[in-house]
Amino acid sequence: MPPPSDLRSVVRPRPVPALLAAAERYLWVAADAAQSADAATRSHLDDGRCVGWYGPPTVGWRVAIDAERADAPVPPTLAGRFGTADFWARWTRAECCCKLADVPVALWWRRYGLGTPAGGAVLWRTLRVADLVVTVGFASGPGFASGPGFASGPGFASGPGFASGPDTAPEPRIALPTGRGHSCL
C-alpha cells in the first residue's frame, strides 16, 4: 500500500489544475443574475452584475467562485482589521473557502483572518477578469471541512489560539500570491 502522502494522487482524479489554468475561458460576467441562471455557480456583485462559472462538470469535486470589483473601496472596519494590501484577492479566496467548507465568514475570520490554511483539500486560483478580482476554488468530495488541519462545527472557533468576541480576528498570517493555481487547504 502506498504511504498516506501518495494515496491522494491514487484515489483523487486531478482534472482541476487544468480547469484552473484555463479559468478565464469558463468565467462569464453578466449584466444581471438572470443572464447567468444556468451557471454552475455564481457570485453577485454590488453593482448588479453576476459572474458565473461555466466549466465542465468535475466528478468528485465541488466548485465555488467569489468576485469583487478591483477598484471598490475597502470598508474601513475591514481595512482596520485586515489591512488593505491585496485585500480583494485575500477576501475572495477566503469567501471561496467558506463556501466550499460551508462555514460562515465570521467564524473563518476568527480562525484564519483572510488567510487560507495549508493542506491540499482545496485548489484555487485568483485572477483579474476585466475590472474584477475573481477566485475560483474546488474542493474534492464531502468531508472537506473535517480533514486534517481544518476545524469546523461547534468547536470551530474555540480552542488554542482563539479569543472570543467580535473584534478578535487575527491579522492575516500568510501572504498569498495571485494568478496561478494554489492549494489553500
Q: How high does pLDDT run on average in the chain? A: 76
Order the strands of the 50-53 sheet from edge to edge.
27-30, 50-53, 41-44
Higher pLDDT, residue 105 or 116: 105
Note the pLDDT tens digit of each residue in 139-167. Answer: 886 645 554 444 444 333 333 332 323 33
Let me know: does 52 contact 42? Beta carbons within 8 Å.
Answer: yes
If you write DSSP's letter for every residue of 55-100 in order, what string do you get?
PPP-TTEEEEEEEEETTSPPPHHHHHHH-STTHHHHHHHHHHHHHH
Closest CA to 18 of 48, 52, 56, 44: 56
Task: Spell 50-61 as b/e; 16+ CB within 10 A means b.
Answer: bbbbebeebeeb
Q: What is the pLDDT of residue 111?
A: 87
- pTM as predicted: 0.72
Q: Mention every residue, 6+ apart, whose C-beta is less than 8 A from residue 97.
A: 103, 108, 116, 122, 124, 137, 184, 185
Dist CA 158 CA 138 (whole Å): 26
Note the pLDDT tens digit of each residue in 23-37. Answer: 999 999 999 999 999
